[in-house]
Amino acid sequence: MKKILIGTHNKGKFREIAYLLSKKYKKISPISLKIPSPKETSKSFSGNSKLKVNFFSKFVKYPVISDDSGLCIKSLNNMPGIYSSRLAKKHGSFTKAMIYILKKMKIKKNRSATFVCSLSYKHPKKKIVNVTGIIKGTISSKIIGKKGFGYDPIFIPRNYNKTFGQFSKVRKMKMDHRFLAFKKLKKKIKTL
C-alpha cells in the first residue's frame, strides 16, 4: 500500500486530512514515527506550511502533506492568524484563548473572520505544491458546541446560524478551509 505522511501533530487536523485523502494511502503520523515539530519561523501561512512539509520530508522517502492554518479576525487586525496555536498555548487551553478573544470582541461592531488553510504537498525529489483555502464567517458571542477542535466553537460559517462546534465532524470536513484547499490540491495532484 502507498504511504503518505500527514505532517501535523494536531489530531483534529490529522483526522480531517486523512478523511480527505484517497483510501489507497496508508496515512502515517509523525507522532507514530517520533518525529518532532519544526519551529514555525515564517510570518505567513504559506511560509510555515512549506517549512513544515520540507521538514517532514527529510524523515521519509514517500509523499508528505502539511497544513498551516488559523483563525483571522478582521477587527483584531487578523489576529490570532498564524499565532492561533501559540495563543492557545499562551493561555493554557483553547477554551481560555476563546474566552480571551470573545472578551476583546465585546466592543467590536465587525465580527467578520476567516479560517485559512495553507496546504503543502511534497513528493520525494519533486517541488512543493502549495494551495490555500479560505472560509468566511463571523465570531459568535459565546462558545457554542462540543464537536470539532480548536476554535470551532466560536466560528459561524457564512450562510449558517451555528458554529463549527455544532456541525457533525463529517459535515464540517466537507466544507471547511482545509476541504477547500484540498479541492485545489487534488486538481493539481490527481492521485490524492
Closest distance of CB 145 from ligand ITT, Å: 11
Compute the distance between CA of residue 162 and CA of residue 159 in angstroms, rounded to an integer: 9
Is residue 171 within the footprint of ligand ITT (CB under 6 A)?
no
State the cell numbers at 136: 468566511
Distance CA 146, CA 137 (A): 19
Q: Active-site residue 67, yes or no? A: no
Contact of 98 with 18, CB cutoff 8 Å: no
| CB of 99 vs ligand ITT, minimal distance in Å | 15
Q: Which residues pair with 156 in a beta bridge?
A: 138
State which of residues 25, 28, 53, 69 lies at the interface with ligand ITT (CB under 6 A). 69
- Residue closer to ligand ITT by CB (options 91, 186) is 91
Q: Which of 116, 144, 145, 133 is nearest to 44 (CA)?
A: 116
CB of 69 to ligand ITT, least distance (A): 4
Residue nearest to ligand ITT (CB): 150
Instruction: State yes or no: residue 150 binds ligand ITT (CB under 6 A).
Output: yes
Helix (H, G, I), strand (E, B) or coil at 167: coil
Which three cell numbers, joined as nine digits, stand for 53?
A: 512539509
**Nearer to ligand ITT (CB atom), residue 115 or residue 182:** 115
Contact 180, 135 (CB under 8 A): yes
Closer residue to ligand ITT, CB minimum distance, 24 or 90: 90
- Of the candidate spans 7-15, 57-65, 103-111, 183-191, the one that interacts with ligand ITT by CB under 6 A turns out to be 7-15
- DSSP code of 40? -
The answer to the question of residue 156 lying near ligand ITT (CB under 6 A) is no
Cβ nearer to ligand ITT, comparing 9 with 24: 9
| Residues 187, 20, 165, 35, CA torsion sign | negative
Q: Which residues are annotated as catalytic?
A: 68
Q: Which residues contact ligand ITT (rule: CB under 6 A)?
A: 8-10, 13, 37, 40, 67-70, 84-85, 88, 115, 148-152, 164, 176, 178
